Amino acid sequence: MGNMTEMINTAERDLLHTYNRFPVVFDHGEGVRLYDTDGKEYLDFCAGIAVHALGYGNEAWKNELKDQIDKITHTSNLYYNEPAIKAAGALKKITGLDRVFFTNSGAEAVEGAIKTARKYAFLKDGTTDHEIIAMDHSFHGRTMGALSVTGTKAYRDPFLPMIGNIKYAVYNDLESVKSLINHKTCAIILETIQGEGGIHPGTGDFIKGIRKLCDDNDILMILDEIQCGMGRSGKMFAYEYFGIKPDVLTLAKGLGCGIPVGAFLMNEKTAQNSLKPGDHGTTYGGNPFAAAAINAVIGQFGELDILKNVNETGAYLKEKLEVLKGKYPIIKDVRGKGLIAGIEFDDTKPVSEVCKKALENGLVVISASGNVLRLVPPLIITKDDIDEMTDKLERSL
């Protein structure tokens, strides 16, 4: 197609301009490194927005997908397929939940969770005016339902009206949630660790308090672990830190490690009292190819002891970020858990400029809301990679 500049110009002419992309065309990856079409090497601390948990080029993952391509990639959900059956069982085992619905994306998983909550409430009282409580500064996706429970007004306003009866509470403020509950509340949806909203982990009192509110009022607790799940926090799922389980869980990103796949899961009580045949569906969801990716990912998490690495490197990353904070007054705060971390800058240092300068220095990082630099690297990084990231980031600052 020509050189990188020509390709970028072609893309700007042909693609719908809904992204302000960085001026780079990535060609391939190896381990935790990306290479552009000019051959320049980059250390990747973005992982395709928390997707490439296994990094690039994992042989077992590639081989499982190659094998499945030689068999069949799609049959529709009118029929069973072996990879999806295996993947559902594996997901039940690692989540502690009972029923699985496969989707193609995180936003679709959230759509399914919303429909589950509304049907659950409808079957209880036969009415359709139930309310869902979401959180300020949350992010759940760009489709109309997912956008409706996304607590950032600027994302919603151009597309009003949203789906109705959504209220927004303050994250990590249990009293603000309590004040919104009434007899029409059917669900509370939240991220266990807010990602796009600025990397804000939920507190124990808050997460456990919401679990109790849901139990006391027969309300569904929906946890969105699309970004913070699949080992990124140091546990397979961040809710494990609090000794609770959600009624409904949404997953994507690291679930397929680069293959577009998502899922929502639920406990048996919710499954028996919500969606029935005809209520929900998907043409592609859970196809054999996507399910093969899930099976490869879950297998590699055990084979490579990913959680052990996340906990060791996550602790080291936290130490390095605290040193940076002490060194640079422009850094207001560092926060996160495991290998989802945020560096909040003051207003004198726009995070967009930091990301651009980092890219020039061969480091791929992205931003989050609140002038926050977001670090969500592959879960296979080493301490040496963290040292290199810190050096490149310091040069960029």
Give all domains of the chain, ordered by start, each with its CATH number: 4-54+305-396 (3.90.1150.10), 61-303 (3.40.640.10)
pLDDT digits (tens, 9 = 90+) for 378-391: 999 999 999 999 99
Task: Categorize the per-residue pLDDT at 2 as very low, low, confident or very high, splitting at 50, 70 and 90.
Answer: confident
DSSP assigned state of 244? -
Alpha-carbon torsion (37, 39, 44, 47), positive or negative = positive
The neighbour count for residue 152, using CB atoms within 10 Å, is 16
pLDDT in tens, 259-303: 999 999 999 999 999 999 999 999 999 999 999 999 999 999 999
pLDDT, the chain, mean? 97
What is the distance between the alpha carbons of residues 63 and 218, in angstroms, rounded to a whole number? 45
Q: Please give the average per-residue pLDDT across 118-127, as a whole number.
A: 98
pTM, rounded to two decimals? 0.97
- At position 341, the amino acid (one-letter code) is A
Count other Cβ atoms within 10 Å, centred on residue 244: 18
* Paired residues of 391 in beta bridges: none
How confident is the model at residue 361, as a pLDDT? 98
Q: Where are the alpha helices (DSSP H) in the chain?
A: 4-14, 47-50, 59-69, 82-95, 106-125, 144-148, 153-156, 174-178, 204-217, 268-272, 288-303, 306-327, 351-360, 383-396
Does residue 159 come out as left (phi exceeding 0), alpha (psi in the -120 to 50 range) or beta? alpha
Find the mean pLDDT for residues 345-369. 96
pLDDT tier for residue 13 given thresholds of 50, 70 and 90: very high
Helix, strand and coil content of the chain, in percent to the nearest 5, comes to: 40, 20, 40
Is residue 273 within 8 A of residue 120, CB to CB? The reply is yes
Inform me whether the pLDDT recorded for 1 exceeds 90.
no
Residue 303's pLDDT is 98
Tens digit of each residue's pLDDT (9 = 90 or more) over 292-336: 999 999 999 999 999 999 999 999 999 999 999 999 999 999 999
Residue percentage of the chain with pLDDT more than 90: 99
User: Could you tell me if 172 and 203 are in contact, meaning their C-beta atoms sit under 8 angstroms apart?
Assistant: yes
Compute φ and ψ for 278, nearest 5 degrees.
Answer: 100, -15
Query: What is the mean predicted confidence (pLDDT) over 195-204?
Result: 97
